[in-house]
Structure 1
Amino acid sequence: MKRPALLAIFSMTPRGGQAFGPRKTGLSSAACTLLLGLTLATACVADTPPSPSPPAFDLVVSTEDKSIRLWLEQHLALQRYASLNDLDDTELSRLLLDADVQVRDLLATLGFFNPQIAWTQTPAEGATAARRVHLSVVTGPVARIAQVQWQWQGDIAQNEQALTQKQEIVQGWTLPEGEPFTQADWTRAKTQALRQLLAQRYPWGRMVDSQALVDATSNQVQLSLSFDSGPSVLLGPTNISGTAHYGSEQVQRLARLPLGTLYSQSALLEAQQRLVTSGFYDSVFVSLDSEGPAQAAPVKIELKEAMRQKWVLGVGVRSDSGARLTAEHTHHQVPGLGWRSVSKLAWDKQLQSAGLDLLAPPDSSLWRWNTSLKLEQEKLTGFLVNSQRWRAGRTQLGERIDRSYYAQYDAAEINLDGLGGQQESISGNYAWTWRNFDSLPFPNQGLGWGVELGAGFTLGNQKIPYVRWLSKGLFLQPLGDKAGRLSLRAELGGVVSKNSNELPSTQLFLAGGDHSVRGYAPGSIGIEQANGLVLAGRYLATGSLEWQRPITVNHQRSEWESAVFIDAGTVTNATQQLKARVGMGVGARWRSPVGPVRIDLAYGQSVHKLRLHMNVGFTF
């Protein structure tokens, strides 16, 4: 490498001062310097800064596939030397030899083992221009899987009861014969196979060996894998630490991990989830003791109990009603009762509410007694509704299925001249919800379905019987890593009664808003009156189709997704008068630390207006 000649410069420094290394002097006209040599000369140095030196080279990569070009540009180490301005031809040639090896290695990770690679250099054109280094890549055919060989050791090799699990691992293998080979897919497939082995019966299993033998001539890859399952494991005694106020018996009931149960990773995760969602514990960790015997492996439950009392104050913004204030108080053991109480207050310009929930500890079947009281004042389209609801019954919350049955009293009063006074009703109800999503609170695939059924009669002068039902569903279908997923949501409801005018409005239906038909205000879709008011109706039907697609940054999937959607819904008093209101728009989804955040801009076709919708959390 050529180096510039070293010029020693002595700068004059005031007495007592120090000069360390080069120094800028900013002279307005000239500066006198003493040159090391036989001749003393005076030179005038101008203030004009020197022109910048050109970079060492510009790298241009050309391939038939844009994604491969971006992959090479992102990972080539050669790029680090492009900004040097003192790189000579000899060093650049050496760097290109190293880069050629790295290009072949990078292409091999993508399954291309016979690429045609050509490097060319173009001299710089002018003093301020840089040399051009051009890399041309023809990848050739991708290598494909020719054969996958499996070897099994341990209990799984001869245990007939594990035959199904072994078949599921083989059938779920994501690199079958004929598929293209890449290093990332190979690593991902091995990880998934091992995860399936460890998920059930064999928590101490391991991968003994794995090989990918590449025949570059034929572009074929032979895969071989060897797994040792170890022994089949049964759950033993539960060792609980961290209990102080709520007792070990409650932990045992919520965990539901009986002795002698076949080990299942999902069973331990579900036990942990039950303990966390109970609200009695701030943190929970459920694990298997690897040093215990296989026929009775101890289960360790380490937890930290929540404080007996907790206050939560919140300030937020709702897209439909502006600023919102909330306050919540939780007492995990009400003195003299032993139940948990949750008191809530909420206020914004459209909705003010106060509520109290009391929940008993779970019994051996996880059923819990509960009672609640809720008071609300809500501003709808042109009028106020004051309502109250009291409920008492039992509930059982599970990982996939929630059940509850309860008696309920409803009362609602519409504050508007010309519309009746307070309507009241009493009913018996049953609710059932089933969830089958791959992960919460950020599901990518799955199905959920819920049903509510109630029967009762109105109070007051007339005792009119009625039946109320409501069904809702959510279906998520993935389309691939880059294509995202489709979300299909639907809700149907109805009230059967000979005179619905005597029913409280809270037992009837309205639509519109964040979780209903976007593009319309909450409660704005209902039975329209001649004076412009919108009242609740007897029948409800809403639906939504949404395409959610990941947003990538630097070719990596980010925490954001885009969404395109269309919603439709209607409320009517007669099924033959169904007339859908349609809303459509675009939105963004954020996987925030507190749960999914949805931001949508929707256009209401019937009202010809744009409306912003924002909400947090996944609920079904």
Structure 2
Amino acid sequence: MAGGTIDKPLAWRSETGQARARARERAALARCWLRVSLAFGLGLMMLLLAAGEAHAARKAPSYKVEVIAEPRSVRRLLEQHLDISRFATRPDVTDDQFSFLITATPQQVRDLVATQGYFSPLVSTDVRTVNDLRQVTVRVEPGPQTKVTAVDLSFRGAVLTEDPSRENATRFAFSLHEGQPFSQGDWDDAKNASLRELQSRRYLAAKIYHSEALIDPRTHTAKLSVVYDSGPTFTMGELDVQGTKRYPERIVHNVNPISPGDIYDTRTVAELQRQLQNTPYFASVAIDLDNDPTKPLNTPVHVKVSEFPYHSFRGGVGYSTDNGPLVQGGYTYLNTFGAAWPFTIEGRADQTQQYGQVQLSMPPGLHGWTNSVLASYTTTDVSDTRIYSIRGGVQRSRTSQFLDYSYSLLFYDDQLDQNAAPPTRAHALVPGWSWTRRDTDDPLFPRRGNLIHVEAGFAVKGVLADQSFIRGYARGQQYFPIGVDDIVVIRAELGGVFTSGSSSGIPASLLFRAGGSNSVRGYGFQSIGNDVAGSILPTKYLVTSAIEYQHWFSHNWGMATFFDIGTATDTWGEKIFYPGVGVGARWRSPVGPVNLDLAYGIRNNSVRPYITLGIAF
């Protein structure tokens, strides 16, 4: 075996040496840059620390302020609006500025508390330096609050001879009365509220001709006087419509409740706006009228709309204790046949029910009536009972501010599955009618008024129906305010299917069951009915009622106690009532009322929680 070495060429050795030299140069240069970078970073860090300390020093307040005053409303007013308080957090207040603020404080206190009806306050300011920080104490004794001893409201203009009821309504809207404390805010609010009331009907150009508040600081009394000038009666003329590009302008005119020559009324204008927003075409609606008192007759009604596009999609998710998680969605095309006919597909699914519907509607006709054709399929699986329902037909409906009407001719084809017997099927052609009335002081959070819904329908055996029957259903809620913070809510529900045969010949979706968050709390959803081998079958008759007392601790939060009772039965003589009691929390959320309830079902000794959103009606 032989061994040896191989010498690299001379040129190769020379290139390798040069590369090593360049590598050493780069390493030296890198070390130099590293030292420079470290030095620069250390210097920058020191500068930042120094700047931070200087910034923190500059942020230190020049002084502190404490306001001592009763009642608390006066103290808060002074803390928010006194210059000495507002500038306390600023670090750049000079000694001259500080002296000026101290000097101006007593007069500012007098001016501010005067807006609350205190015209003889005692004011003292105390300035001390503690630990190199100036501390300012402002003590205020507001003295007696001024009381209203006289209110004189008078009128001039057409209201004196045309409509005395407007004068009475204006007086009633004036919220500052004899014996009440006087404040500038309450005085302004009372004048503005009463003027808005006068302007709300007939007298669109009404104004305050003269107002005066005579304050006597010695007797702490206020005498108020306001003179209203109603101006002439305004009547409404034709619509001036702007913004209609995709959809015909006649839609606006068809839903218009205003006739030329009608006396101006904000309620009618609001009804026009509501009718337009109830259609699927307009994203926003703005309405105004000219208030020129020299041209009060047939004043044009200016309507400006913003339109939705032809295609729209919507969807949502939610949860309820009755039905569990839910998902829903829909699609609408607003220009079917190129004639603004809305075509809608929508669906909803939760733990107990799956629902889908297809509907084609015509644009609103005269007086806002809408004709449509629809078909739907619903499956319901609750209380060991499964109902499959197909529905289709035609409908004519109208929605207004206070009343909804609907006439329909619908065909029902239902199948009912239960534990103890084979599936049964029933169908019926039902002419129907429904009516809903809303009369509450607030549509979202009512305290006073009522809601009523009524339905009626019938079927004739042999006319696409297995059995003749008459069906009626009614539901109502009444709200009674108790004092300032409390509300009593009474709810009642009645339903009946009147027929000479059994309930098996009637489509199951037209029958009744009870139980759940919006029926009888303390029992499962639709768990009250005809119990056959564990299946809760729907029945001919339904009665439920509830009484609830709500106490509100603040504007948004309250609590409730309630008592519910109800039954669902095929034979009234064999009825069994199911009572429930409970307590709950109430929240006026930004999207509507939220109810959290805990109910006890007395008959079944069961405890159930409930979560509901909105008013079920």
Q: What's the offset of the Cα at 1:457? A: 4.9
Aligned residue runs from structure 1 range 78-157, under 5 A: 78-80=84-86, 98-115=104-121, 133=137, 135=139, 137=141, 139-140=143-144, 142-157=145-160
Q: AA paired with 2:511?
A: L
CA distance in 1, matches of 2:608, 2:64: 52
The residue number in structure 2 matching 1:613 is 611
Q: Would the alpha carbon gap of residues 535 and 565 (structure 1) be closer, same or farther in structure 2, given more than 3 Å must change? A: farther
**Structure 1 CA distance for aligned equivalents of residues 463 and 172 of structure 2:** 64
- In 1: Cα distance, 2:69 partner to 2:80 partner: 14
Distance in 2, matches of 1:54 and 1:367, equals 67
Which residue number in structure 1 is paired with residue 209 of structure 2? 208
* 1:232 partner SS: coil
Equivalent residue of 1:491, what SS?
strand
Between 535-544 and 102-111, report the one with greater CA deviation: 102-111
Counterpart of 2:599, as a letter, is Y
Specify the code of the residue in structure 1 equivalent to 2:609. R
Does 1:438 pair with 2:441? yes
Counterpart in 2 of 1:230? 231
Alpha-carbon spacing, 1:78–1:536, altered in 2? closer, same or farther (3 Å): farther
Q: Structure 1: how far apart are the matches of 2:254 and 2:507? A: 39
Residue 295 (structure 2) pairs with residue 293 (structure 1): yes
Q: CA deviation at 1:429?
A: 2.4
Correspondence for 1:535 among 529, 537, 544: 537
Match 1:473 to one of 438, 462, 476: 476
- CA deviations over 1:134-162 (Å, ceiling 9, x no partner): 7363643x3222222234344334xx223
Match of 1:507 in 2: 510
Coordinate RMSD, CA, aligned: 4.0
1:416 and 2:418 matched = yes
Instruction: Give the TM-score normalised by the residue count of structure 1.
Output: 0.79
1:18 & 1:464 partners in 2: Cα distance?
96
Count of residue correspondences: 566
Residue 272 (1) aligns with residue 273 (2): yes
Residue 584 of structure 2 corresponds to: 586
Range with bigger deviation, 595-604 or 458-467: 458-467
Deviation, 1:205, is: 2.2
Query: 1:354 offset after TM fit, Å?
Result: 0.9
- Change beyond 3 A, Cα 1:519–1:101: farther
* Deviations 1:50-107, CA, capped at 9 Å, x for gaps: 9x999955736363x5555555555555444666899999998976664444444443
C-alpha separation in 2, matches of 1:245 and 1:408: 32
Structure 1 residues 448 and 25 mapped into 2: Cα distance closer, same or farther (>3 Å)?
A: closer
Q: CA contact under 8 A between 1:353 and 1:377: conserved in structure 2? A: yes
Q: Structure 1 pair 265/16, CA: closer, same or farther in 2 (3 Å)?
A: closer
Residue 11 of structure 1 corresponds to none
- List per-residue Cα deviations over 1:274-321 (Å, max 9, x = no partner): 111011222222221346932221122222333333222334444444
The structural deviation recorded for 1:376 is 0.8
Q: Which amino acid aligns with 1:500?
A: S
Deviation at 1:218, TM superposition (A): 1.8
Contact 1:424 1:458 in 2 (8 A): no
How far did 1:400 drift? 1.1
Normalized against structure 2, the TM-score is what? 0.79
Q: CA deviation at 1:381?
A: 1.4
Within-5 A mapping of 1:425-464:
425-457=428-460, 464=467
Q: Secondary structure at the match of 1:261?
A: coil
Structure 1 distance, partners of 2:584, 2:182, is: 37
Q: What 5-or-longer segments of structure 1 have no aligned partner?
A: 1-13, 27-48, 552-556
Change (3 A) 1:563 1:412: farther
Distance 1:356 1:72, change over 3 A: same
Task: Determine the C-alpha separation between the residues in 1 that align with 2:48 and 2:316.
Answer: 57
Q: Distance in 1 between matches of 2:375 and 2:41?
A: 84
Q: Matched residues in 2 for 1:433 and 1:302: separation?
A: 29
| Aligned: 1:248 with 2:255 | no
| Partner Cα distance (2:194, 2:568) in 1 | 53
Report the CA distance shift for 1:73/1:493 in structure 2 as closer, same or farther (over 3 A).
farther
Matched AA of 1:446: G
Q: Residues 486-497 of structure 1 correspond to what in structure 2 (within 5 A)?
A: 486-497=488-499
Question: Going by fraction, where is helix more abundant, 1 or 2?
Answer: 2
Tell me: CA distance 1:89–1:546, structure 2 relative to 1, closer, same or farther (3 Å): farther
Q: Could you tell me how far 1:417 is from its partner in structure 2?
A: 3.6
Query: In structure 2, the residue corresponding to 1:187 is in which secondary structure?
Result: helix
**Counterpart of 1:353?**
355
Shift of 1:251: 1.6
Which residue matches 2:564? 568
- Given residue 386 of structure 1, which amino acid in structure 2 is its aligned partner? Y
| Conserved? CA contact 1:426–1:459, under 8 Å | no
CA distance in 2, matches of 1:578, 1:77: 71
Kindly indicate whether the alpha-carbon contact (under 8 Å) linking 1:59 and 1:82 is maintained by their aligned counterparts in 2.
no
Deviation for aligned residue 1:370: 3.0
Q: Secondary structure at the match of 2:269?
A: helix
Aligned-residue offset at 1:351 = 1.4
Are the aligned partners of 2:513 and 2:568 in contact in 1 as well (CA < 8 Å)?
A: no
Q: Name the CA distance, whole Å, in 2 between partners of 1:128 and 1:462.
A: 94
Taking the aligned partners of 1:302 and 1:76, their CA distance within structure 2 comes to 44
Give the deviation of 1:203 after TM superposition: 1.7
For 1:107, give the aligned amino acid: V
